[in-house]
Structure 1
């Protein structure tokens, strides 16, 4: 295999998939491993790093490190090994409702506790396993992340979109990357948020002290979160949150950054709460985007029972607390 830069000597075996793409001006400065993960279906950031270690990635004909920052007009070439057999993606019928479907798109109402796609720690019980079961004929299924347009954290519930073919995935992915999708969440956060509405504009990247976490980091990827107060309690605030960008753990990181972490968030909050909380209180309840057919669509899903129960318990507990305060004031 040769290019204008000479012999590449990339590993080639039967059924290898060769991909070549050119870096656009707006992608300047992106880490190569992150960029590959966003550009190539079925390739995570960690897998991109492994491909580089195996010599399967070149930039302008040369080997580079995962942290390489791309430049406009760089030519990136990948040689992917044969994809995992679809038979290795175990079909599983999971309780994940389909809210919308057409020839191009599936939209699920993901319950908490379900991972979006398989990973080393989650080979089964994922949204992808469910797609394999209910729509076994999809052409994207040989991929580990078939048609995945965006993700939700394991313990975040709500709307998630899956493309049924590659043109649809690329069409939708472009909308997510250019921030033309309206994404709204309900989040219960610790403390009383004073502002009725506000915007958090703070860059996010891997926490230099703990690579498993994200953090607000100078020079990180731009991240913008808008919120307005939906309901205030004595010890918490229910927020209606809109995110312009879609960074990993964005809402959780931004809320912790301003001193109001998401209730139930064990990674960024770790605070006790007045009532039992089964998980992080974060629900993706609204999406507005354009279908590959060109038709705009709006979808909503109500707050699931486990989080609604938290609100009802919180309201009841705070009514009792408020009553006790009034009684105490009256006797003094």
Structure 2
């Protein structure tokens, strides 16, 4: 059992290191690459965590498949069933958190769409009457296509060129389906707390991605920077568009976004830096994938080896697992 616990402990601890590596990697990547890297890392880290819990939950069942009586399992591994129950309880908690977060997502979308009643507009633009200063990208909902929602207060606040930046920014969110990337990381964070550290980074890079698209459309980075700054300064406090699943030009660390727009357009890192970033992400991907496969295969092989040992029958893999047990301690813990 020691070997099983070591494998699972490593896989459950991996998201803390993986989230740190992914966060540092995105600092040297253009916004688009950073967003996709964060979403991929979140999915892989969540998958590795789930595989660890599923593997622990299946230990007693794997033992029964090897025709090993559960009483004998408990005699040798007293913690087998409690650990399996704990893993099952952990997965139930994760399921409850995922369902709650999904309901929250749908509820927020419903409220946002309800808030657009009485709005006017043309094409993908909806202008909501009122003095509130707000703007956000509203994803598709129940057959209704995505829309850019802007209050009349925001429209009056911005100059014509700045309005163009704001609308281009929100349209970039819709065109890039940024709410889906945000949803992936937000839901994956319900599986392991370490993944939650990626949500802030993703939110920032999603806004930076839309900022860069807007700046490219208007053809003036300084105008884009001024529009983002003005919209954020005049935006209503407690905006309904703070984060997942709605995305707003006024959210995130605005000073850093404005500063980035005043610099040259970011490009993919070249040479050694690009290779180092690719290598870091490759190591993360391989670590999670190999860890998941190793756990799934290793648990079955270890239970088979242990059952043969307990039943007194020879096992072809006893040398390998026996050596590992010798290094890690007794398998009865």
* TM-score between the two structures when normalised by the length of structure 1: 0.25
**Greater helix share, structure number:** 2
Structure with a larger share of its residues in strand = 1
If you compute each CA radius of gyration, which structure gives the higher value, 1 or 2? 2
TM-score where L is the length of structure 2: 0.25
Tell me: higher relative CO, structure 1 or 2? Use CA pairs within 8 A at least 6 residues apart: 2
